[in-house]
Amino acid sequence: MDLFFDLKSKKIGYSRIGRMYLSSKERTYFKTPNIVIPMTNTLMGNINFLEYFETHPIFFITKQIFLKIGFLRDKFRNTSFIYSHSGTFTRFKEILDENPHIFSQNNVISIIPFNIPTTTIDKDFAIQEINEYLHYAKSVLDSYPNNSFGVNIKIFDYSELIDLYIPLIKENKNIKILNFADLFDNLSNFRAILRVMDRIKHELNNNLVLMASGRLIPKYYPLLIYLGFDIIDSSYMMYLSADNFYNTTEELLPVYKLKELPCPCVACSGKLKDLLQDKYSQEKILLLTLHNLISAKIYMNKITQFLDTEDYRSFLEKTTHDDPLLYSSLKILDKEYFEKIRLETPISSSNTIIRCIGPISYYRPDFQEFRERVIRNYLPEQWTKLIIILPCSAKKPYSESKSHKQFYKVIRKFPEFPDFQEIILTSPLGAIPRQLENIYPVNLYDIPVTGDWSQEEINITARMLTKLLKKYDKSIPIICHIKGEGYSSIIENVVKEVKQKFYFTDVDDNLTSKNALKSLEEKIKTLKNNTDKDLSPHTLFTNTWVRKFIKIADYQYGIGLGMKLFGNGIKMRRNRNKTKLKIIEQAKDEFIATFDLNKGQIELTIAGADLLFSFIHKLNYLVFDGEKIKGSNLFRPGIIDFSPNILPQSNVIILNKNKQKIIAVGNAIVGSNNIKNIKRGIVAEIYEKL
């Protein structure tokens, strides 16, 4: 079956939302990420299990009895199954021969078994076992070319052994699922896990479904989804139940410790509470299994909700705070794999508040990407005569806060205000030029404003401010209108690194007091003419939005391209909902771009993209294998070339086959790495085409 997995949207980190198809005949699918529920004779005999999981889309089966055609078609027509055989290869092939229609046409896919009697083996023995497995797996794949299969991947704590599997996976198109059977059995070896995931993501077809199994508990699920897993086998919950463990998501508790059951599920509200102290009760184990599976499914539902509609990274961070292993794993991923994961992380988001809850937020990939891109693409306005350093505000964008409105009144008293550069200091993003306050993530982050700064927050902000100020002429004076030890420490660090002179306003009570604002005004009056720079070249720059659009375009597309787009003057119109600004070139009265206030991103029209055509090598582009696009989506088979640094949600320009004409503009669904490693699926959503 060619159609098996389609990516629908890319989320932060390696996380993704997709569709998994298991029936070529019915073309039924279910949404991923998802949880695989084990199906056993005992569970199938429990009415509560049948009622609760009646509509669940995918089950894990190990018994032949569940492969009967009548069972599959009558009771589970719209349900998918993953079959795992626990016996020999010989018997496995016999089962495939006995059930040809089940595995070739129906909603069942089989995982080629990898059954080893021991779990403690050295590297040489591991290599021998893997090679033997690959030999048998190859024989199965060749014998049943029309069947789809999953392969078990075991690395036995040796991450480099993943390389043994890659040739087989690349050579066999009927491999659809990669089941990592032991990868997370030792979470303390997280660097090995990341090395494996990095190889998989950058070497193999990204339309392959990634499945995690083994000793997995629900508290691991958010991190697994962040790493790009599509389905998670919950069978381990059965073993935990047999050992009398009760899942609370945050922790696994021995049932003998429970005085009250904190869950209202059908098992906990029924007889389970009366059987807690009955050590050998089979009924208790069944009810405990039911609770543990229900709680795992509920938690997965919560995960997918946050992944789909909220800031998933904030949710993930909260789940790591009570587990040192999870916390340190996320830190390692952020710091050691940023250059890889940045190409997988969307550059914008819409109406989703980013809640920063501590140091684990400082190096999330979208924040790092923002800081690096600002330092790389922000070019000072050449007429800048004065720099004003200001604190952040709780309200975003800053200019809509009460404090910044007060600062704004003072600064706008001076007709030379377009020659002043405002820079806002904030944690954890760093130093924000005023022109970039409306873009993602500046427009959506939320952090408690306490006035207390950690040393790491001070260092991050000081490094970024230093790099920005080094772009400016050393003769430009800098006014600091700040208060608090954290802000003072930042400036103390920066003063040692730059050549400009710093001047501080007199602040007694607070920054918006009458005396403090008067001091700011007097400092501006005294210092505004301290350089020999000319005033702004024309009145264009008295419009704050024009200054913003020029710098936002530089940030998105590259240094200098903002002036190419908007340097001849523009007019703006808001839409009815006041969520978008329509940008019209003044001279030609031509619609060239839209600024989406929710996403914090400029979206070019074809006319706007044409203004940048001579700089196409700097831009994010896709080359279409044709001259005209039909529909509103561009799919992978239609793309013959693409630029190397596309990030998900980037604005992209679509060129015709010979790269001589812009035929459409849109937003990327996936980044360059995914485009390289997928064979099908949507790559970009088109919002204008010829």
pLDDT classification of 534: cutoffs 50, 70, 90: low
Mean pLDDT value across residues 53-71: 83
Q: Looking at residue 677, which CATH number applies to its domain?
A: 3.10.400.20
Mean pLDDT value across residues 146-174: 94
Q: Which of 480, 496, 527 is the last residue of a domain?
A: 527
537 belongs to a structural domain: no
Query: What local confidence, expressed as pLDDT, does residue 274 receive?
Result: 86
Contacts of 181 (CB under 8 A, 6+ apart): 114, 152, 153, 154, 213, 214
Query: What local confidence, expressed as pLDDT, does residue 162 receive?
Result: 96
Mean pLDDT value across residues 140-156: 93
Query: What is d(CA 62, CA 88) in angstroms, rounded to the nearest whole number?
Result: 13
3-state secondary structure of 612: coil
The sign of the torsion formed by the CA atoms of 609, 613, 615, 619 equals positive
Query: What local confidence, expressed as pLDDT, does residue 2 receive?
Result: 54
280 belongs to a structural domain: yes
Which of 407-416's residues contact partners 24+ apart within 8 Å by CB, and which partners?
407/481, 407/511, 407/512, 407/517, 407/520, 410/517, 410/520, 410/521, 410/524, 411/524, 413/521, 414/524, 414/525, 414/528, 416/385, 416/528, 416/535
Mean pLDDT value across residues 104-130: 82
Peptide bond preceding 441 in cis form (omega within 30 of 0): yes
Return the minimum-mean-pLDDT range out of 61-70, 183-192, 364-373.
61-70
Query: What local confidence, expressed as pLDDT, does residue 170 receive?
Result: 95
Query: What local confidence, expressed as pLDDT, does residue 259 receive?
Result: 86
426 belongs to a structural domain: yes
3-state secondary structure of 498: coil
533 belongs to a structural domain: no
Q: Which of 303, 335, 367 is the last residue of a domain?
A: 335
- 510 and 602, same domain (yes or no): no
Query: What is d(CA 4, CA 678) in angstroms, rounded to the nearest whole number?
Result: 12
Question: In the chain, pLDDT over 70 holds for what percent of residues?
Answer: 94
pLDDT classification of 198: cutoffs 50, 70, 90: very high
pLDDT classification of 533: cutoffs 50, 70, 90: low
Query: What is d(CA 226, CA 218) in angstroms, rounded to the nearest whole number?
Result: 14
Query: Do residues 209 and 4 lie in contact, with contact meaning Cβ atoms separated by under 8 Å?
Result: yes
Task: Give residue-wise pLDDT tens across range 308-332.
Answer: 989 999 999 999 988 999 999 999 9
- 316 and 390, same domain (yes or no): no
- 172 and 222, same domain (yes or no): yes
pLDDT classification of 384: cutoffs 50, 70, 90: very high
Mean pLDDT value across residues 599-615: 95
Mean pLDDT value across residues 423-443: 96
347 belongs to a structural domain: no
536 belongs to a structural domain: no
Contacts of 428 (CB under 8 A, 6+ apart): 356, 361, 362, 367, 445, 447, 457, 460
Mean pLDDT value across residues 510-532: 90
Phi, psi angle pair for 446, to nearest 5°: -140, 125
pLDDT classification of 120: cutoffs 50, 70, 90: low
- 461 and 560, same domain (yes or no): no
- 495 and 638, same domain (yes or no): no
Q: Looking at residue 369, which CATH number applies to its domain?
A: 3.40.50.10630
- 137 and 280, same domain (yes or no): yes
Longest dimension (CA), the chain: 91
E runs forming strands in 140-281:
149-153, 175-180, 209-212, 231-233, 245-247, 252-254
Query: What is d(CA 183, CA 214) in angstroms, rounded to the nearest whole number?
Result: 8
- 461 and 565, same domain (yes or no): no
384 belongs to a structural domain: yes
Query: What is d(CA 10, CA 578) in angstroms, rounded to the nearest whole number?
Result: 27
Query: What local confidence, expressed as pLDDT, does residue 3 receive?
Result: 58
Contacts of 102 (CB under 8 A, 6+ apart): 67, 69, 72, 108
Mean pLDDT value across residues 53-73: 81
Query: What is d(CA 496, CA 465) in angstroms, rounded to the nearest whole number?
Result: 12
Query: What local confidence, expressed as pLDDT, does residue 583 receive?
Result: 96
- 572 and 548, same domain (yes or no): yes
Residue 537 pLDDT greater than 80, yes or no? no
Helix (H) or strand (E) holding 467: helix 455-469
Query: What local confidence, expressed as pLDDT, does residue 513 receive?
Result: 94
pLDDT classification of 24: cutoffs 50, 70, 90: low
- 368 and 486, same domain (yes or no): yes
346 belongs to a structural domain: no
Q: How many domains does the chain have?
A: 3
Range of the domain at 496: 354-527
Query: Do residues 464 and 375 lie in contact, with contact meaning Cβ atoms separated by under 8 Å?
Result: yes
Q: Looking at residue 256, which CATH number applies to its domain?
A: 3.20.20.105
- 520 and 582, same domain (yes or no): no
- 317 and 430, same domain (yes or no): no
- 567 and 605, same domain (yes or no): yes
Query: What is d(CA 68, CA 241) in angstroms, rounded to the nearest whole number?
Result: 28
Question: In the chain, pLDDT over 90 holds for what percent of residues?
Answer: 72
Query: What local confidence, expressed as pLDDT, does residue 88 receive?
Result: 85
AA identity, residue 411 = I
Query: What local confidence, expressed as pLDDT, does residue 538 receive?
Result: 47
Helix (H) or strand (E) holding 634: strand 633-635
Helix (H) or strand (E) holding 603: strand 601-604
Nearest Cα to Cα of residue 299 among 43, 76, 33, 57: 33
Q: Which of 301, 335, 369 is the last residue of a domain?
A: 335
pLDDT classification of 556: cutoffs 50, 70, 90: very high
Nearest Cα to Cα of residue 639 among 675, 686, 690: 675
Token digits of residue 355: 């809640």
Return the minimum-mean-pLDDT range out of 340-354, 469-483, 498-512.
340-354
Task: Give residue-wise pLDDT tens across range 250-261.
Answer: 889 999 888 889
**Mean pLDDT for the chain?**
91
